[in-house]
Structure 1
Amino acid sequence: MSKEFEIVSEFEVDATPEEVWQAVTTGTGGYLWPMEPPEPRVGGRGPFGSAVTAWDPPHRYTNRVENVEGISEQTLNQLDYTIEPRDEGRRAWVRYVHSGIFVDDWDNQYDGASKHTEFYLHTLREYLAHFAPRPVAFATFDGPEASEAADAFTAVGRALGLGDSAQGARVRAHGPQGRLLDAVLDFRNPYFIGLRTDHALIRFFGRNHWGAPVGISVHDFAPDADAKANETAWQGWLNEVFGRS
């Protein structure tokens, strides 16, 4: 049965309103994934077939789409950003509202969307604090079918060699081809892991909790970043973790 949902998050960030606006409207892949930037006007085309319903730089941006392309489980999706200055414009306050209509399996869909929202907005803050507006090479991919198992994300943490390290700790994570990555464990809960190196944000998604494969996204800001090489290396790492040659 169809049912409306709303996910609301508010936070302050050490970035100007203009920097936040740039991050959420250009679609570079700095903290989410590359996407079509919105036409800068009310009524313009937004990403994924949406329409821009509010456009007031750098304070308010909203897009809305009905009958979401390629997603039969959702018939309405709206993203709304409100950005206000703090500390005479040196910092920003952000209110993010994701709303719409889910079709069937509402509890599971809402749980997944709300937990992903927390992680994505945390990644936005990490991007703004450490990397914006540097160009990014973005890659994202999923693990094999075995990564859908109930304990799959525990296996990811174990393969990274994180032990009982808590969010905020400095770690030496075990990456592809036996490389050790000097990183900050910038996010960790039972569903997601975030690593921040000097040049990249590497995000691990425990989507097995919602019946999907584990996923990884790599946002690489190094001058010589190679998205395809990152995908090949980390996809191989995932396959090795889950016993696929």
Structure 2
Amino acid sequence: MSKEMSKEISEEVSKESPKEFEIAREFEVDATPEQVWGAITAGTGGWLWPMEEPEPREGGKGPFGSTVTAWDPPHHYTNRVEDVEGISEQTLNQLDYTIEPRDEGRRAWVRYVHSGIFVDDWDNQYDAAGRHTDFYLHTLRQYLTYFDRRPVVFTTFDGPDASKASDSFAAVGRALGLADDTAVGARVQARGPEGQVLDAVVDFRNPYFLGLRTEDALIRVFGRDHWGYPVGMSVHDFAPGADAKEDEAAWKGWLDGVFSQP
């Protein structure tokens, strides 16, 4: 779940019923433990969003006001924050990564645990956070497999209020030129800003999220209309000379245009 979405949810609820949560995932990836470590500590713009690198020690400063509580490269990293910056109604947040080598260090096994405390509207927040987690960790694997350590520019934005309406996420897929039954793994020619044709692979698709991978970019669509919020997009652009402001102007204009049609 994005920081902006979590903040919006939190601002609508009170602190009447705080409740702990835990979201745990395990996966293997064709990358070394050192590559995974680099992606989660320094290369976050390639798969999540850019964050300040943690101070490389226990007790050091982590992103978003957190504290590093475990630092054992490339095996174990944890950060924890008691008062989540910008999300007043989430009173605790902890991210924990455990990384082990596989195949004599050529591959890695990763266990990721996101835990903390949500307040009222717990079911909605927990559902959104869990589904976002699956998409973000898939994008991490795509980054490690296809773009590891390449320079990247990142942009993320929401669609207009009209994209809160039911079926908005599906409308974005159709505007990209995808059929409703275009499946993961399909090679497509997607329609982008100003009619640009994008040779892409559908690397992720379910009723909530869509991922397109081109030679130089990971394009992510977030169907947050399912939780009553605008559809969102993120673009991780690895092309030489890429410009985040230009990407945002082009893609946000395109997304706004999807919902400005009569």
> TM-score range with shorter-chain normalisation?
over 0.9
Distance 2:228 2:56 in 1: 37
Residue number in structure 2 paired with 1:82? 98
Tell me which residue corresponds to 1:96. 112
Whether 2:229 is the aligned partner of 1:216: answer no
Match of 1:138 in 2: 154
Alignment match of 2:47 (pick from 21, 24, 31)? 31
Q: Is 1:144–1:244's contact at 8 Å kept on the other side of the alignment? A: no
Matched, 1:40 2:56: yes
Any idea what SS the aligned residue of 1:113 has? helix
Rounded Cα–Cα distance in structure 2 between residues aligned with 1:86 and 1:200: 28
1:197 counterpart (214, 217, 232): 214
Gap change, CA 1:44 and 1:166, over 3 Å in 2 = same
SS in 2 for 1:194: strand
1:166 paired to 2:188: no
Q: Which residue of 1 aligns with 2:145?
A: 129
Instruction: Find the counterpart in structure 1 of residue 78 from structure 2.
Output: 62
Structure 2 residue identity aligned to 1:180: V
The answer to whether structure 1 residue 185 and structure 2 residue 184 are counterparts is: no
Amino acid at match of 1:6: E
- Give the structure-1-normalised TM-score: 0.98
Unmatched 5+ stretches in structure 1:
none
Q: Is the 8 A contact 1:183 1:198 kept in 2?
A: yes
Alignment-mate amino acid for residue 176 of structure 2: L
**Alpha carbons 1:50, 1:64 under 8 Å: kept:** yes
Change over 3 Å in CA distance of 1:122–1:28 after alignment to 2: closer
Please say which of residues 190-199 and 24-33 is displaced more in the overlay.
Answer: 24-33
> Hey, what's the Cα distance between the residues in 2 that align with 1:13 and 1:73?
34
Correspondence for 2:131 = 115
- Structure 2: gaps (5+ residues): 1-16
Rounded Cα–Cα distance in structure 2 between residues aligned with 1:193 and 1:6: 25
Alignment partners' CA distance in 2, 1:173 and 1:18? 34
**Alpha-carbon shift at residue 27 of structure 1 (Å):** 4.5
Other structure's SS at 1:229 match: helix
Pick which of 94-103 and 210-219 moved more: 210-219
**Aligned twin of 2:8:** none
Specify which of 51, 64, 88 is matched with residue 72 of structure 1: 88
Q: Within 1, Cα distance between the matches of 2:44 and 2:77? A: 17
How big is the shift at 1:212?
A: 1.4
Deviation at 1:227, TM superposition (A): 1.0
Structure 1 residue matching 2:68: 3-state secondary structure: strand
Distance between the aligned counterparts of 2:258 and 2:152, measured in 1?
A: 27
TM (normalized to structure 2)? 0.92
**Counterpart position of 1:232:** 249
**3-state secondary structure, aligned to 2:46:** coil
SS of the counterpart of 2:173?
helix
Compare the two structures and name the one with the higher strand fraction: 1
Cα pair 1:79 1:96 within 8 Å, conserved = yes
| CA distance in structure 2 between the partners assigned to 1:28 and 1:108 by the alignment | 26
Tell me the distance in 2 between the aligned counterparts of 1:212 and 1:54: 35
Which residue of structure 1 aligns with residue 31 of structure 2?
A: 15
Q: Which amino acid aligns with 2:48?
A: L
Contact 1:76 1:100 in 2 (8 A): yes
Alpha-carbon distance between aligned partners in 2 of 1:104 and 1:72, rounded to the nearest angstrom: 12
Asked if the contact 1:28/1:136 (under 8 Å) is kept, the reply is no
